[in-house]
Amino acid sequence: RMTELEIKFCSDVLRELHKKQHAAYNFPFLMPVDPIALNIPHYTDIIKNPMDLSTMRHKLDAGEYETIDEFAADAKLIFHNCYTFNPPGTEVYKYGQQLEEAFERKWAE
Ligand X SMILES: Cc1ccc(Nc2c(-c3ccc(O)cc3)nc3c(C)cccn23)cc1
Per CB under 6 A, residues contacting ligand X are 27-28, 33, 38-40, 47, 81-82, 85-86, 92
Question: Residue 24 CB, nearest distance to ligand X (Å)?
Answer: 12
Separation of alpha carbons 31 and 54, rounded Å: 5
Query: CB-wise, 67 or 90, nearer to ligand X?
Result: 90
Q: b/e per residue, 35-65, with b = 16+ CB within 10 A? A: beeeebeebeeebeeebbbebbbebbeeeeb
Residue whose Cβ sits closest to ligand X:
28
- Nearer Cβ to ligand X (21/84): 84
To the nearest whole angstrom, how small is the minimum distance from the Cβ of residue 60 to ligand X? 20
Choice between 5 and 41, CB closer to ligand X? 41
